[in-house]
């Protein structure tokens, strides 16, 4: 599709009064902050964990599903902005790992923005988007788990999780031995799903969350329709925190997500660093407690892996650095961002995303109906970096413009850009993570990043 046709389609979707985005070269003007969260001060670090190559490394696989992760985050975004974090064409956007569950191997989606481990059980009942019953095969689960636990289901407790695109799963909780790489947690609390609306890939059987236990999805009672996050939620220790608490691994894990035409692969390292080659010059920054929603537990405890960057560097006709404080009339305003493997794109303050997209050659166009910026699939991206504790982490042009099946929009003939606008909740997803080695140092309450430029 030629640019004029693509632009015409974009203008049709935006309405006849819409105009294409113009190339921006002026300094960004200040405007009031619209953040809907509170940032809490964090306690002093307990001391950074020693960085060494892990003996427990396993491969990440490209999953043939949407980036399903971060249910709580998707729901927080939907509640505060009315939007979801889904892009027009993101099949193959998730990443999966193999685990053992009760001695059997299953492939599950890995997500750093949620906390539960769930598998679909034998006999699971499926429904479609209209809540009408459908065959189990319509859910697209991989191999199903046995519908039983070591000691039976936990009495008077239910599992209930939903996603920003309308998918949901309910079930029961119990205890099972769960292995990841060469690390096994005995009698880990997990969920078996027995009722679902799901759009799977017929390979992955569930999802494993590595965020803080604050975000687990267990509730008192057996009626999911009355579950309430403030009054009936039951927090439990998820797998990664169980492994740390039991001294099975050092209190950290790290991710290396590699580039590929439709997502790539990479490594998950437990208790240390991945084994692949990379520049071992790390930059650290503290994790923050944020309140995205009025949930009492989340407001007082760590939940997502959240940091506060310094700002960003953007190069078009000239190179300019902008601190995030430029976007608020209040110089004390900060812009925390969530580091999340379960989100495909990077979501930043609207004016930041607008300026990044305006400096593509040609400038990108915002597709109102799709809720994303798009461009020619052979457009030239600008130079863009996120500055974290004084270090600039550059995002490759291969991630600033998502070509191939991952970002191609069949409706417009354009490709989705990697940096998108969001009001209130900001996220560094896989578009950022493919350019760094990310260390989630739970013991020191900090994140560490090193450039990952070797492909």
CB atoms closer than 10 angstroms to residue 408: 17
Q: Which of 401, 455, 56 is nearest to 264 (CA)?
A: 455
pTM (2 d.p.): 0.85
**Whole-Å CA distances, 40 to 66, 113, 306, 413:** 32, 19, 11, 44
Segment 140-171, tens digit of pLDDT? 999 999 999 988 999 999 999 987 667 899 99
Within 13 Å and on the Cβ side, how many CA atoms surround 312?
27
Q: How far apart are CA 432 and CA 316, in angstroms?
A: 19
Contacts of 17 (CB under 8 A, 6+ apart): none
Domains in the chain, start-ordered, CATH in brackets? Answer: 3-47+273-451 (2.40.70.10), 63-248 (2.40.70.10)
**Whole-Å CA distances, 225 to 120, 126, 161, 171, 260:** 20, 17, 12, 12, 41
Q: How far apart are CA 254 and CA 235, in angstroms?
A: 24
> Can you give the pLDDT at residue 272?
95
Segment 382-426, tens digit of pLDDT? 999 999 999 999 999 999 999 877 788 888 899 999 999 987 788
Look at the block and give the residue holding tokens 């030629």: 2
Q: Is 346 helix (H, G, I), strand (E, B) or coil?
A: strand
First to last CA, the chain: 31
**Whole-Å CA distances, 134 to 159, 203, 425:** 21, 19, 35
430 is a catalytic site residue: no
CB 404 within 8 A of CB 320: no
Segment 215-237, tens digit of pLDDT? 899 999 999 999 988 899 999 99
340 is a catalytic site residue: yes
Q: Among residues 201, 227, 250, 340, which one is catalytic?
A: 340
Segment 260-315, tens digit of pLDDT? 644 568 999 999 999 998 989 999 999 998 765 555 455 457 889 999 998 888 87
CB atoms closer than 10 angstroms to residue 82: 9
């Amino acid at each position: 599709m030629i640019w004029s046709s693509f632009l015409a389609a974009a203008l049709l979707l935006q309405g006849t009064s819409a105009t294409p985005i113009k190339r921006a070269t002026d300094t960004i003007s200040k405007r009031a902050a619209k953040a809907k969260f509170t940032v809490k001060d964090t306690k002093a670090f307990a001391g950074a964990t020693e960085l060494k190559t892990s003996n427990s490394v396993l491969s990440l696989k490209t999953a043939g599903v949407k980036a399903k992760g971060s249910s709580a985050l998707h729901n927080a975004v939907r509640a505060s902005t009315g939007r979801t974090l889904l892009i027009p064409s993101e099949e193959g956007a998730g990443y999966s790992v193999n685990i053992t569950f009760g001695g059997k191997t299953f492939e599950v989606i890995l997500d750093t923005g949620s906390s539960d481990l769930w598998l679909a059980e034998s006999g699971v009942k499926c429904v479609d988007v209209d809540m009408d019953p459908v065959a189990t095969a319509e859910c697209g689960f991989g191999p199903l788990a046995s519908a039983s636990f070591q000691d039976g289901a936990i009495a008077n407790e239910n599992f209930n999780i939903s996603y920003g695109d309308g998918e949901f799963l309910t079930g029961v909780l119990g205890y099972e031995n769960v292995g990841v790489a060469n690390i096994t947690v005995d009698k880990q609390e997990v969920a078996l799903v027995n009722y679902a609306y799901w759009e799977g890939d017929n390979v992955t059987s569930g999802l494993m969350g590595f965020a803080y236990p604050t975000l687990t999805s267990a509730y008192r009672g057996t009626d999911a329709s009355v579950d309430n996050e403030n009054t009936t939620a039951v927090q439990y220790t998820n797998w990664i925190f169980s492994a740390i608490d039991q001294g099975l691994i050092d209190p950290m894990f790290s991710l290396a997500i590699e580039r590929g035409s439709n997502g790539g692969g990479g490594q998950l390292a437990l208790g240390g660093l991945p084994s692949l080659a990379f520049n071992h010059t790390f930059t650290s920054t503290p994790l923050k407690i944020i309140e995205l929603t009025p949930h009492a537990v989340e407001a007082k405890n760590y939940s997502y892996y959240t940091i506060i960057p310094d700002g960003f560097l953007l190069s078009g006709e000239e190179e300019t650095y902008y601190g995030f404080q430029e976007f608020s009339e209040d110089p004390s305003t900060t812009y925390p961002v969530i580091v999340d493997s379960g989100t495909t794109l990077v979501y930043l303050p609207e004016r930041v995303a607008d300026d990044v997209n305006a400096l593509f050659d040609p400038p990108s166009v915002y597709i109102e109906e799709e809720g994303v910026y798009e461009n020619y699939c052979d457009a030239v991206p600008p130079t863009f970096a996120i500055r974290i504790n004084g270090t600039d982490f550059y995002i490759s042009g291969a991630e600033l413009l998502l070509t191939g099946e991952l970002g191609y929009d069949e409706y417009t003939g354009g490709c989705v850009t990697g940096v998108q606008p969001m009001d209130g909740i900001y996220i560094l997803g896989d578009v950022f993570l493919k350019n760094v080695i990310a260390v989630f140092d739970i013991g020191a309450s900090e994140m560490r990043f090193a450039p990952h430029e070797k492909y």
